[in-house]
Every structure is written in structure tokens, then in C-alpha cells.
A and B are shown apart, each in its own frame.
Chain A
Amino acid sequence: MRKIDLCLSSEGTEVILATSSDEKHPPENIIDGNPETFWTTTGMFPQEFIICFHKHVRIERLVIQSYFVRTLRIEKSTSKEPIDFEPWIERDLVHTEGQLQNEEIMTRDGHATYLRFIIISAFDHFASVHSVSAEGLAVSNLS
């Protein structure tokens, strides 16, 4: 099996929930493979979004490109429905003035059908997420 970026809308992945939405900067921008487009939070924290793979995947490495994110918590689910999320990763990011935050995480136990990203706090009133990529394997279809 070949390793691919599992977090691409072109691979069938979807953002099924986001707590903020500016129609000019929608959450779909996170998984369009283009770091120039982004999703913005629109005020107050925490803020979250949920990514659905529509299949069972095994993630080996995550890369999150963002700005002004301070504390990020990632939960995952292996259910068919977006329920039963379990804690997975929590990181305190560093502010990188004028540059994208580029957070690379080598993951353990990366079996998932859904990922839930929670921005617990930020370095400013607003934060942006430019891309999430998840390198790994598509394991099997749902059902």
C-alpha cells in the first residue's frame, strides 16, 4: 500500500463541522491542498473542526499549518459516525511572527475514521488554519 496525504478533499475527505464560518474563508480551505487558502476563527475560543475520511485510515505523520494557534488538542474516532472521540494529541505551539506555524507530529496508534481539532487558545483574538495533512495509509472502507 502506498502512503498518501489522507487530508485532501480530492481523496474524498471532508470537513463535516466547524464552529466558525466566514463564507470567504470556509473550513474546506483546510483540506484543499493549498496553504494559501485558510479557515479563520471568528471570535472566542475554544474553536473546533472535524475531518471525516469516509474510510478507516492509519496516520503516521500529521502536519498542521496555522497562525496564532496556542494550544491545540486533537481527538480521534474509529467509529462509523462522528462519536466516541478519544484524546490523542495535545500541543502548545510557538508563535512565529510573520510566518506560518508548521507543526509536525509523528503519530502513534493512528487508526481513525474522524479527527477532531480543538483550538483551545490562541495568541490573538483570531487564528487561522491553512492546511492539515495526514500522511498514512487507507486501511479499509467503512461498512
Chain B
Amino acid sequence: MVKLAAKCILAGDPAVGKTALAQIFRSDGAHFQKNYTLTTGVDLVVKTVPVSDTGDSVELFIFDSAGKELFSEILDKLWESPNVLCLVYDVTNEQSFTNCSKWLEKARSQIPGTSLPGVLVGNKADLASRRAVDSAQARAWALGQGLECFETSVKEMENYEAPFHCLAKQFHHLYREKVEVFQALL
């Protein structure tokens, strides 16, 4: 049995629901923040996620940093040495989806030469009439980038756990791979 620890960075444009997603995950769906407050600096959410079909678990340290900081040096410091990435956009805001490639590039540049497991999360899926990003389009882009793809509605408390469980699973898989590398050294 092993308990892994992973630094998870939450990335995406302002107001796509990063903080709401992290907080609802933290509180197991007990808390949906109705009023929007702009995150300044960083919030940290720590939660242990079991990895299914193993006795193992991953303790996620979710760094929820301000979405307006894409080009700031502060972000480089907060995002130092990430282990996994949770990339969030708003399905009613096409720009927030387009900007995902910039966020992804920024995140990957933190650990050049090392793979960064990640998920793409389309939030606000409940707002069907205002949808601006097609699911298939998002899925195709995510696939091309090696990201697992999810749609959630934090407001309706739908599917908010799946992205984090997926990240835990990917990180656990990476650990198993590295242990095999260590074993093969001699």
C-alpha cells in the first residue's frame, strides 16, 4: 500500500469555475459558492483520493491560483514543480476554451522534458442554451494534447469528482512506471 502526494495546478481563465470546482470537491458537494469572488494569490485544497482497484491513494494538493495571472511571474513561483494539471474552461465561453492551449503551454513549461498528466474540464454544462463550445470539438483537442476530457456542472453537482479521480489514477500509473524504471536499472 502506498500513499502518493501530487501537486495539482488548477488552470484556466477567470470566472470559469476553478475555485467553485475545487471547493465543491473539498466539501464533497456540500458547498456551492453562489457569489463570485475573484481569487487573488492562491488557495490550497488538500484531499486524499483512493485509486480504484488498488489499496493505494493519492493525496492531491490542489493549487487554485488566480485566473488573471497568465503572464505574471507570481504564477511561475506558485506553479513550480507541478505533478498534475486540471485545466478548466467554461462551455458557454469560447474564448476560455481557446485560451486553454496557452494555459497548457504555460503549465508544461514548468517541467520541460517531463510529462505532465492532465485533464480538460468543461464546466457550466448545465447552461445548455448558452453553450458555445461543442463537446466533440473539446474532446478532439484534448485527445490531441494527451488530456482526458470531462464536462461538469459544479452548480448542479454533476461529475465534479471524476476529473480528480482521473488525475489520481494517471499519477498512480506514472508512479508504477517509474518504479519499473528503477527496478530495471540493475
Contacts and interface: CB of A to CB of B under 8 A. Distances in A.
What secondary structure prevails in chain A residues at the interface with B? loop
A64 to B, nearest CB: 14
Interface in B2-29: 2-7
B5 A42 contact: yes
B79 to A, nearest CB: 13
B2 A42 contact: yes
A5 B113 CA distance: 37
Given A42-B5, A130-B186, 11 more contacts: A22-B179, A24-B2, A35-B186, A40-B178, A42-B175, A43-B58, A44-B7, A44-B61, A99-B185, A123-B113, A125-B175
A23 B114 contact: no
A87 to B, nearest CB: 23
A91 to B, nearest CB: 19
A35 B113 CA distance: 27
B5 A126 contact: no
Interface residues of B, number: 23
B57 to A, nearest CB: 11
Contacts of A121: 81
Interface of A: 21-25, 35-36, 38, 40, 42-45, 67-68, 98-100, 121, 123-126, 128, 130
Contacts of B114: 123-125
Contact of A42 (B4, B61, B186): B4
B4 A43 contact: yes
A119 B181 CA distance: 19
Interface of B is mostly: mixed
Contact of B186 (A36, A124, A125): A36
Interface of B: 1-7, 58-59, 61, 81, 83, 113-114, 171, 174-175, 178-179, 181-182, 185-186
A16 B120 CA distance: 42
Contacts of B4: 42-43
Contacts of A68: 178
Given A121-B81, A124-B178, A44 B185 contact: no
Contacts of B175: 40, 42-43, 125-126
Contacts of A67: 181-182, 185
Given A44-B6, A44-B83, A128 B182 contact: yes
